[in-house]
Amino acid sequence: MRVSSPIPHKRARIEIIPLIDVMFFLLASFMMVSLSQEGNAVYFDNQIVSDDQVLPKLYELHRANPDIKVSISASLMAMHGDVISVLDKVRSAGITKVGYQIRAAGAPAAQPGAPAAQPGAPTAQPGAPPPPPPPKP
């Protein structure tokens, strides 16, 4: 004897609309992440330098003065990996005296062409132009 179930028997269906929503969300997320990774610029003494010219410039600076001091500064929106990449290039060039220019979160950003913090010291800066010089005592 066969007993029928009181619960109606339905066939399983795959709903595609929620899957499309998830795919659009992932697409938008990846696009935003990829766009935020563009635009990392490196400046030497307020002049933009292409990524492939950073290491030769550092070697040249180190060859001219083995005791050179390099100051690294980054914009507030710079990616951590970009700053570390510049630091790695500085270290691989043999430069051991590295300083970091840090400004408060509310401090205004510098304009391109602003004077460097320490005259004569090259500044490698990923992400943005250098910060303004510190106030004179």
Strand partners, 100: 72
Q: Which residue has the higher pLDDT, 66 or 126?
A: 66
What average pLDDT does the segment 28-42 reach?
Answer: 76
The pair of structure tokens assigned to 42 is 């490196």
pTM summary value: 0.50
* pLDDT single digits (tens) 59-93: 999 999 999 998 888 887 777 888 888 899 999 99
- What H or E segment, with its residue span, contains residue 70? strand 69-73
**Domain of residue 66, CATH code:** 3.30.420
Give dist(CA 51, CA 20) in Å, integer. Answer: 38
Is there a contact between 99 and 116 (Cβ–Cβ < 8 Å)?
no
Q: Which amino acid is at 108?
A: P
* pLDDT single digits (tens) 46-64: 888 888 888 999 999 999 9
Domain assignment present for residue 58? The answer is: yes
State how many domains the chain has: 1
Supply the pLDDT for residue 108: 61
Q: Is the pLDDT of residue 119 over 50?
A: no
Supply the pLDDT for residue 132: 57
What is the pLDDT of the chain when averaged over all its residues? 77
Domain assignment present for residue 53? The answer is: yes
Domain assignment present for residue 47? The answer is: yes
Give dist(CA 125, CA 43) in Å, integer. Answer: 5
- Host domain of residue 74: 42-105+113-126
Contacts of 32 (CB under 8 A, 6+ apart): none
What average pLDDT does the segment 121-131 reach?
Answer: 53
Buried b or exposed e, range 99-114, using 16+ CB within 10 angstroms: eebeeeeeeeebeeee
